[in-house]
Homo-oligomer: A and B are copies of this chain.
Amino acid sequence: MLRLARQFHAKAQPFPTRTHSCAQLSAEFEGRAVTLAGWLLPERKGRVVSFFPLKDSQGTTQLVVNHAENPDAAAVLASVPPESTVLVQGTVALRPQSARRPGPTGDIDVQVQKVTVLNPATDMPFLPHNIHNLPNEDLRARYRFLDLRRTALTQNLQKRSQVAFLVRSALHDQGKRFTEVETPVLLRSSPEGAREFLVPTRQLKAVESPNTTSQQDPLFYALQQSPQQPKQLLICSGAVDKYYQIARCFRDEDGRKDRQPEFTQIDLEMAFVSWGEFADANPVPVEAEGEYPWGWRIGGIQVRRVVEDLVRKIWLKVEGVELPKDFKVMTYYEAMSRIINLSDRLSGSTPSAAASVAASDEILECIVVRKSHETEFFNATRTLEQAHTEHITLTKSNMDKWLLESKAAREVFASANSSFSNLDLEGDSSTPEAILNESLHLRPGDHVFLAHRSRLPKGGSTALGRVRLGIFEEAQSKGEFRVTESPHFLWVTEFPLFTRDDSDKEFLAHGRWSSSHHPFTAPMWQDVEALKRGDIEHVRGQHYDLVLNGCEIGGGSVRIHDADMQEHVFSKVLQLSDEEKAPFNHLIQALRCGAPPHGGIALGFDRLMSILCKTQSIRDVIAFPKTSGGTDLMFKSPAPVDAQTLKQYGIQSVLEGISKEQKARKSSSPPAL
């Protein structure tokens, strides 16, 4: 067939204009002369006529060609290779009743009068319409332009565009009056978050040098990690009351599954955010916890409302699902407690141990995963175990001693100055295992993940939290677990404002406190005094995460708008040096120029789309994604750059330095005599 194809060439001369897409024709077009263009799929040959599906990005129309009546067109269609682009002039015909199919073009055929080959597909590495015989992911990544021709990926791209437009429309709509502002991608290096990408410039900075007078240091931009500072500055400027941007962001992180070096977020920021109805009714609210309506005890209520409206519109339009008017709200403390606190369960049953366990700063927690039907599941997911967690598979023989054998439990009770013996000697004849087996309905085959942590949550996720997420993802990818049709949205609020427990931030913190979210997040007003007096670990932030079925899809906060408070956080809490503070000087300055109270949020657009497209991988919702290693197999990036080009930027490969050094060593060696 490929040989035959050589007789065809791409059409360079004028050809007629198509009149309809391949998804557009229906019974009401019967008898109409039409011109279609698209990709030709393989023939289904009959005695009198042959059928060919013609496909474009919108759908498929069945072509019919009569061998006897139109031998030329029949011969062309039969001999041009599948996936070639052809232009067909023909007439819409109703199918016989028995041949009609549901779907957009299922009632009709197009009877072919004339065929023009626009471009023969002469060199196909694989056939994207043959979805049951696709090559491996690497090969498809190399030929991404063909993989995208698969209906599944085609529809993902279209849905992504639809949702992006929906987001923009919703924010522009009636009274919302958001302004979309493009912020710089080429920014300045700043130590606020993850590792950033650098961009060398041909600008140089003169530096003092003992040897020469004209030495110059190369200067770099950094690619924006998020528009955090630009968006706050926009709000401080007063030019923009409600900002948004569907923004490309860049992070040079490695070793993270399903992360991309560039990603997209729906980025919002709003001036004059407030506490909403509560504050309006009670300008000076009482201290008591729990008296706030709907559990939202922080500022930024306008951000909450906008995001809930937005998400509700997307789910209604794309999923046909009506979401509740108010999403649930849970404090971070409460969310952390959803992992089962074994300490409390045990201490409640064994009075004398209770006192010491309750008094302990360390608590023992567990997650239970019920016996799986697929026995291999947990063999494959052993890697889910995180440092400081323990995985016990219950069996008939360990049912009465699994806790006693647990290292995590041993450590907690040791720290509580309690002991295992206490647990089964006091009054109650039950063993601790018996208590837990009964209250948790444990059976042989169930899995228990154990860990201990300090009683007061420290910010960030806990080891067991990460295990829970890992199990969720594994189970979902193995088909063990499906996201419920009705999506459960949840706000988590009142995170600890500072942490010492986030290993991701340690490379900047060097043992100091770091911000759980970022250093611009405002404390809850109730905790401002604690912040001032240095009771850092009890300060909760006006931070909010939006969680969908256990998966975080966005996070934001009310920002500090008081320059003195921001200075206090930088200098007194985070203990930044002047040099570390320098990239934030203009922000501090902006706060001193009448910055309004403000807050915002960023939603992960790639993750959101992967949920809406019901796929596990964000690569399925990005047109040209990179591998988890950051490689683009089609564009073949990244790639080496020659030394001459690098020199324009005042840089060179480290190797270049080494080889020059070696040369220098050689050339300055005393000549051999």
- Among the 9-residue stretches A354-362, A491-499, A610-618, A643-651, the one with 4 or more Cβ atoms under 8 Å from chain B is A643-651
Question: Is the pair B57, A240 in contact by a Cβ cutoff of 8 Å?
Answer: yes
Total interface residues on A, CB under 8 Å, equals: 174
A62 at the interface (CB under 8 A from B): no
Residues of B within 8 A of A254 (CB): 202
For the complex, what is the distance from the CA of A593 to the CA of B525, rounded to whole Å?
A: 62
A413 at the interface (CB under 8 A from B): no
Question: Is the pair A161, B148 in contact by a Cβ cutoff of 8 Å?
Answer: no
Residues of B within 8 A of A83 (CB): 593-594
Question: Is the pair B14, A278 in contact by a Cβ cutoff of 8 Å?
Answer: yes
Closest residue of chain B to A637 (Cβ to Cβ) is B188
Q: Within the complex, what minimum Cβ distance (angstroms) separates A29 from chain B?
A: 16
For the complex, what is the distance from the CA of A241 to the CA of B353, rounded to whole Å?
A: 70
- Among the 9-residue stretches A280-288, A402-410, A451-459, the one with 4 or more Cβ atoms under 8 Å from chain B is A280-288
Question: Is the pair B145, A236 in contact by a Cβ cutoff of 8 Å?
Answer: yes
For chain A, residues 76 to 99, give those with C-beta under 8 angstroms from any C-beta of chain B. Answer: 83-85, 87
Instruction: Give 1 or 0 for each of A1-28: 1 = CB within 8 Å of chain B CB.
Output: 0000000011111111110010000000
Given contacts A211-B662, A561-B119, A622-B182, is CB(A57)–CB(B635) below 8 Å? no
Question: Is the pair B565, A639 in contact by a Cβ cutoff of 8 Å?
Answer: no
Q: Within the complex, what minimum Cβ distance (angstroms) separates A666 from chain B?
A: 8
Question: Is the pair B630, A12 in contact by a Cβ cutoff of 8 Å?
Answer: no
Question: Is the pair A200, B201 in contact by a Cβ cutoff of 8 Å?
Answer: no
For the complex, what is the distance from the CA of A87 to the CA of B272, rounded to whole Å?
A: 9
Question: Is the pair B280, A631 in contact by a Cβ cutoff of 8 Å?
Answer: no
Given contacts A153-B239, A184-B624, A623-B183, is CB(A13)–CB(B525) below 8 Å? yes
Partner of A595, one of B119, B182, B202, B586: B119
A591 at the interface (CB under 8 A from B): yes
- Among the 9-residue stretches A43-51, A101-109, A120-128, the one with 4 or more Cβ atoms under 8 Å from chain B is A120-128
Given contacts A119-B595, A184-B624, A234-B148, is CB(A650)–CB(B651) below 8 Å? no
For the complex, what is the distance from the CA of A153 to the CA of B642, rounded to whole Å?
A: 43
From A149, A221, A595, name the one whose CB has the most chain B CB atoms within 10 angstroms: A221
Q: Within the complex, what minimum Cβ distance (angstroms) separates A121 from chain B?
A: 4
Question: Is the pair A241, B56 in contact by a Cβ cutoff of 8 Å?
Answer: yes
Question: Is the pair B651, A646 in contact by a Cβ cutoff of 8 Å?
Answer: yes
Closest residue of chain B to A83 (Cβ to Cβ) is B594
Question: Is the pair B274, A240 in contact by a Cβ cutoff of 8 Å?
Answer: no
Question: Is the pair A218, B653 in contact by a Cβ cutoff of 8 Å?
Answer: yes
A665 at the interface (CB under 8 A from B): yes
A534 at the interface (CB under 8 A from B): no
Q: Within the complex, what minimum Cβ distance (angstroms) separates A292 from chain B?
A: 10
Given contacts A85-B596, A189-B641, is CB(A562)–CB(B146) below 8 Å? no
Question: Is the pair A18, B272 in contact by a Cβ cutoff of 8 Å?
Answer: yes
Question: Is the pair B238, A653 in contact by a Cβ cutoff of 8 Å?
Answer: no
Question: Is the pair A668, B664 in contact by a Cβ cutoff of 8 Å?
Answer: yes
Question: Is the pair A279, B15 in contact by a Cβ cutoff of 8 Å?
Answer: yes
- Among the 9-residue stretches A164-172, A335-343, A545-553, the one with 4 or more Cβ atoms under 8 Å from chain B is A164-172
Partner of A230, one of B221, B564, B623: B623
A597 at the interface (CB under 8 A from B): yes
A487 at the interface (CB under 8 A from B): no
For chain A, residues 187 to 241, give those with C-beta under 8 angstroms from any C-beta of chain B. Answer: 187-189, 197-203, 205, 207, 209, 211, 215-223, 229-230, 233-234, 236-241
Q: Within the complex, what minimum Cβ distance (angstroms) separates A486 from chain B?
A: 29
A652 at the interface (CB under 8 A from B): yes
Question: Is the pair B525, A562 in contact by a Cβ cutoff of 8 Å?
Answer: no
Given contacts A589-B143, A596-B85, A660-B661, is CB(A14)–CB(B239) below 8 Å? no
Residues of B within 8 A of A146 (CB): 237, 590, 593
Closest residue of chain B to A633 (Cβ to Cβ) is B586
For chain A, residues 474 to 492, give those with C-beta under 8 angstroms from any C-beta of chain B. Answer: none
A181 at the interface (CB under 8 A from B): yes
A31 at the interface (CB under 8 A from B): no
Partner of A664, one of B209, B623, B661: B661
For chain A, residues 396 to 446, give those with C-beta under 8 angstroms from any C-beta of chain B. Answer: none
Partner of A237, one of B149, B223, B264: B149
Residues of B within 8 A of A628 (CB): none
Partner of A262, one of B178, B186, B252: B186
Q: Within the complex, what minimum Cβ distance (angstroms) separates A286 from chain B?
A: 11
Residues of B within 8 A of A540 (CB): none
Partner of A58, one of B199, B211, B241: B241
Question: Is the pair B149, A161 in contact by a Cβ cutoff of 8 Å?
Answer: no
Closest residue of chain B to A649 (Cβ to Cβ) is B198
Residues of B within 8 A of A581 (CB): none
Question: Is the pair A630, B238 in contact by a Cβ cutoff of 8 Å?
Answer: no
A113 at the interface (CB under 8 A from B): no
A384 at the interface (CB under 8 A from B): no
For the complex, what is the distance from the CA of A579 to the CA of B597, rounded to whole Å?
A: 56
A352 at the interface (CB under 8 A from B): no
Residues of B within 8 A of A653 (CB): 217-218, 650-652
Counting from the closest, the 3 A-B pairs by CB-CB distance are A10-B562, A121-B594, A14-B279
Sample (5) of A-B pairs whose CB atoms are under 8 Å apart: A14-B284, A15-B274, A15-B275, A55-B238, A647-B654
Given contacts A39-B238, A200-B200, 14 further A-B contacts (CB under 8 A): A14-B274, A14-B275, A15-B274, A85-B596, A119-B594, A145-B233, A146-B237, A183-B624, A185-B185, A188-B635, A189-B641, A197-B201, A220-B639, A665-B665
